[in-house]
Amino acid sequence: MKKFLSTLFSATVLAGVVSTSSVVNAADELNVVMFGMPYTKGLAALADDFEAKTGIKANIDVIGQDVFENRITLSFTGKSGDIDVVHTPVIQVQRWVSAGWLKPITAEVDAMAVKSDIMAGPLDAYKINGEQWAVPYMAATGLMTYRKDILEEAGVEVPQTWEDMLSVAAKIHNDDTAAIAMRAVPGQGFNMFIFPMVMRAYGGKFFEDYTGGDLTPAINSPETLEALNVYMKLLNDYGPQGAGNFNFAEVQAAAQNGQIAFAVEGTGIAASLVDPEKSKFADKTGITLPPAGPAGRSPAIAVHGLGIPASAKNPELSAKFIEWAVSTETMTKIALAQPFSNFTTQPVAQNEEVVAKYSKVHPDFLTVQAEALNLAIGHYRPLLPEWPALGQAIGENINAALNGLSSPEEALEAAEQEMRDILGN
């Protein structure tokens, strides 16, 4: 009966998939599923390289992030075994591991020659219960871009703190060019990728003592409230019209069209704003660390890697693919072909062509990025299986306050209550 029900459950979940390709793997064929980013697109373009080297055909499927999450959830719960290598964002890895969706790959990774070349921080981010669950290929961080010409004209310096930012914004904000835009739409990967940079700078935190293991929700604090007020004031008083519904694409477009002076964004978007090929204001745009607060600076961090699903039929081949995908040679090719500077395989940064390419984008780019990654804390967003649910709930409340549907005090109180509900305490 139980077996029948469990099959029925899986079948039900699977019934929702329309586009799941149920490719039956040949012995020397691999299915890789990833969502669209410069690295994944670059990797897909190199599939023939992999085949030429190993004789194994890799079907690299790069899909939209929203479709991706449904696709893999359905494939993993249905244990269909149709995915051999999966894009594993660090923010999801705890959830996937507790659901039993990934295969531990400690031995496989130890056997990889490239292991010692991979940045230790991002590699460790995939270590849970003493096992390695994925191999990182990139670590994105939070950066701030600013329009040098606007600051010069107003006679102001690049703000070093969020307080400075408020006063600079008041001076430069006008109808044609708003002072600043940041992600605002609700979601753990949207406003909750950016807002914690302000929150942590003011000493706000998600839990009483995350590192000490005390997971009592503590977001309703005077520190987070102060940070939320700053975030709201910046976007509501000094942001472009409609800023309360901006996602990264709108932030990027506003900066590229010269409608904002400051953008605090992830590495990918920030890089596109200082790249002359991508933005006509690039030569007037500088790049630096996100502002600090009383508790210092806390750039965002998002690590992405490759893992092997528990249901994968041929884990050895999968490991071989991962080793190739994070190798210095493959990474260098992608760094040259795509706007991909946040690789975690370190020798790539010594390649002269790579250095030349990113210095041309912006001379400070690689150094600022390294500095931000150094400052970033691994658990910037808590590494918990429940994070997607927590981030969604907190993000919705933050967005409600930003758009005037609740007061900031009410929003934080509701967020903390919902965190308790989700964690069951």
Partner 1 sequence: MTSSTHLKTRGRATAELEGGYRRMMLPAVFAVGLFAIIPLAGMLALSFSDYHLLRGTNWEFGLKNFVRLASDKRLMNSVYAMAILSFFGVATQVLIGAAIAVGLSKIVGRWRLGRVLFLLPYAVPHVAVALIWLSLFTPTLSPINAFFDIFGITVPSFLTTKNGALFAIVMADTWTNFPFTMLIILAALQGISPDLEEAAALDGATRVKTFFYITLPLLIPAFLMVTLFRFIDSLKHFPMIFVMTKGGPGRSTQATNYYAYIQTFQNSNVAYGAAIAVTLFVVAAFISFYVAKLNQRVTS
Q: Which residues bind partner 1 (CB under 8 A)?
A: 2, 5, 8-9, 11-13, 15, 66, 69-70, 73, 77, 95, 98-99, 185-188, 190, 240-247, 250, 253-254, 257, 259, 385-386, 388-389, 392, 396-397, 399-400, 402-403, 405-406, 422
Q: Closest distance between partner 1 and the C-beta of residue 328, in Å?
A: 36
Contact 122, 109 (CB under 8 A): no
CB of 383 to partner 1, least distance (A): 14
CB of 76 to partner 1, least distance (A): 9
Find the shortest distance in angstroms from Cβ 168 to partner 1: 20
CB of 57 to partner 1, least distance (A): 30
- The beta-strand segments (E) located in 129-187 are 131-132, 134-147, 178-181
Nearer to partner 1 by C-beta: 111 or 253?
253
| 175 or 277: CB nearest partner 1 | 175
- Please tell me the distance from the alpha carbon of residue 87 to that of residue 305, in angstroms, as a whole number: 6
Joined tokens for residue 208:
């009483």
Which residue, 99 or 119, is less far from partner 1 as judged by CB? 99
Placement of tokens 């903390």 in the chain: 416
Q: Which is nearer to partner 1, 23 or 405 (CB)?
A: 405
Q: Which is nearer to partner 1, 77 or 80 (CB)?
A: 77
Paired residues of 136 in beta bridges: 305
Q: Which residues pair with 95 in a beta bridge?
A: none
Residues 311, 102: Cα–Cα separation, whole Å: 8
CB of 5 to partner 1, least distance (A): 6
User: Which residue, 141 or 392, has its beta carbon nearer to partner 1?
Assistant: 392
- List all residues 6 or more positions away from 30 whose beta carbon is below 8 Å from its beta carbon: 56, 57, 58, 59, 84, 85, 314, 317, 318, 321
Among residues 214 and 421, whose Cβ is nearest to partner 1? 421
- State the minimum distance, in angstroms, from the CB of residue 389 to partner 1: 4
The full DSSP string for 326-380 is: TSHHHHHHHHHHTT---BSBGGGGG-HHHHHHHHHH-TTHHHHHHHHHHH--TTS
Structure token pair of residue 320: 């071989």
Residue 81 region, left (φ>0) first, then alpha (ψ -120 to 50), else beta? left
